[in-house]
């Protein structure tokens, strides 16, 4: 699943190339990409594609931002189009070839096209109404005091805490493993057992790992590609994720894999305590 570094890579790549361009057309053959609840009390979903298309055509992209794993197209007239890549989504800029997995095409002024490709159809596109704020604090902008405060409100495994988008947004399975390896904290360690030193190590590790991943264009394990179609380079640099059975590059111990709920966690049994 694309996580914060992958989404940040997409935003930084696209920002200078599409800011200021006008949306000329938007087409899709995947109604569920635009799913919304029929009402606040209903669990039934409907497609908002026609409504969204009508609201965005003719508007200029004034800026491009990211919150957590969400890409935000800030449009003229105060509208905001939000796109979540979910598990297998990627945005391509002017791809040379089209795919059967292309779910959304946005035509921009100047002959520019954005194509959202999503093999599993889990992505989501919507208009944010009323200045909606996402839950959780963005991991890239989170301050030490904010992290410490959040940890004080939880009593869960630290791995689960990092995956909880209501607490820290943007981190998923890959970078939670990498951050905990860097910080020297075991994934099953309870949040309320962390000392001041542990929290400082965790904070530094979060900033260091995310910055390194962004610098290298994110992680391409399966579907994720940068908007130019190229792979991200962090996969070759990872220290723990999907390295079960390999030697830890820090101390030579063997990386282990465990299950925490429905997720897996990879860690070093020697320096992660």
Active site residues: 2-3, 69, 263
* Sheet arrangement for strand 102-108: 23-28, 102-108, 112-117, 90-93
Beta strand spans in the chain (E): 23-28, 35-37, 45-47, 61-67, 70-75, 80-84, 90-93, 102-108, 112-117, 124-127, 137-138, 168-169, 256-260, 263-267
Are 7 and 69 contacting, i.e. CB atoms less than 8 angstroms apart?
yes
Torsion angle (degrees, nearest 10) of CA 215, 216, 218, 219: -150
Question: CB under 8 Å to 244, separation ≥6 — which residues?
Answer: 255, 256, 257, 266
Task: Using only the alpha carbons of the chain, give its radius of gyration.
Answer: 20
Residues forming a β-bridge with 263: 260
Tokens of 94: 């002017």
Which residue in this structure is represented by tokens 């963005």? 138
């Amino acid at each position: 699943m694309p996580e914060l570094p992958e989404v940040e890579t997409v935003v930084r790549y696209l920002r200078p190339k599409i800011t200021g361009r006008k949306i000329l057309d938007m087409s899709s053959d995947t109604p569920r990409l635009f799913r919304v609840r029929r009402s606040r009390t209903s669990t039934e979903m409907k497609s908002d594609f026609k409504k969204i298309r009508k609201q965005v055509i003719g508007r200029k992209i004034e800026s491009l931002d990211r919150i957590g794993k969400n890409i935000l197209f800030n449009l003229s007239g105060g509208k905001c189009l939000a796109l979540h890549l979910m598990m297998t989504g990627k945005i391509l800029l002017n791809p040379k070839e089209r795919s059967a997995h292309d779910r959304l095409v946005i035509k921009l002024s100047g002959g520019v096209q954005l194509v959202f490709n999503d093999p599993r159809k889990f992505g989501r596109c919507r208009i944010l109404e009323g200045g909606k704020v996402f839950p959780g604090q963005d991991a890239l902008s989170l301050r030490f005091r904010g992290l410490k405060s959040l940890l004080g409100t939880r009593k869960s495994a630290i791995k689960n805490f990092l995956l909880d988008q209501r607490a820290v947004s943007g981190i998923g399975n890959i970078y939670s493993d990498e951050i905990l390896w860097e910080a020297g904290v075991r994934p099953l360690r309870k949040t309320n057992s962390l000392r001041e030193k542990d929290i400082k190590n965790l904070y530094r590790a979060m900033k260091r790992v995310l910055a390194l991943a962004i610098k290298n264009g994110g992680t391409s394990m399966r579907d994720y590609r940068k908007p130019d179609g190229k792979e991200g380079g962090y996969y070759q640099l990872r220290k723990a994720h999907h390295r079960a059975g390999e030697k830890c590059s820090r101390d030579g111990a063997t990386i282990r894999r465990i299950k925490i709920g429905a997720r897996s966690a990879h860690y070093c049994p020697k320096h992660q305590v």
